[in-house]
Amino acid sequence: MTNKYFQNPINCKLIVILLLLFTSIANAAVTEVEKLDFGTLAVLRNDSVSEITINLDNQITFTNHIRVLVPGHRGEYLLSSYEPFKELFISANIVQTETSSPATPSQQFTLISLSSVPTITTDANGDATVFVGGTIASSGNAVGIYYDTAYTVIFELSINF
């Protein structure tokens, strides 16, 4: 017997919108080193909500019926050209809670949380690295299935000083 939920791995990558709030640092920049990526997943059964979390330390945990076929990773963002030893206030905010995918009528994931350090201090060159983790959940809709496709969602990374 084959399981229709396991036959189609899910590649889940997040698209990031970076929101920079500048007051006096005109040359400050944010470079995306790596996108927050939940990896390639399989939803064995979708009769209950399942979750996968990627922590700031890159640890991956999952519940219920999600399985990781290819591990993902936390997002990494390089902040550059700020003042040396400047404290920056960081927040990762959900803009779009539900993923989108080109395959319809595929079930979608829900981005339920994001994590980042609340503050970071730039180094002597005015640079710092920020990591972003997060949790997504399956729909728990027993009649719906997930297709083998990319799923995307949008969040913003705010940097204030």
Give the number of domains in the chain.
1
In a domain, 39, yes or no: yes
Residue 119 lies in a domain: yes
Please check whether residue 5 lies inside any domain of the structure: no
Is the pLDDT at 69 greater than 60? The verdict is: yes
Average pLDDT, the chain: 86
Residue 104 CA: distances (Å) to CA of 43, 109, 146, 148: 17, 13, 9, 11
| Domain boundaries, position 17 | 10-160
- What are the tens digits of pLDDT across the range 91-148? 999 999 999 988 778 899 999 999 999 999 999 999 999 999 999 999 999 888 898 9
Q: How far apart are CA 41 and CA 22, in angstroms?
A: 38
4 within some domain:
no
* pLDDT for residue 156: 94
Q: Is residue 135 domain-resident?
A: yes
Q: Give the model's pLDDT for residue 103.
A: 77
Share of the chain above pLDDT 70, in %: 84
Do the domain assignments include residue 1?
no
HSE-CB for 93 with a 13 A CA cutoff:
12
pLDDT in tens, 18-44: 444 444 455 789 999 999 999 999 999
pTM, entire model:
0.82
Q: Which residue has the tokens 């990896």?
A: 39
Structural domain includes residue 51:
yes
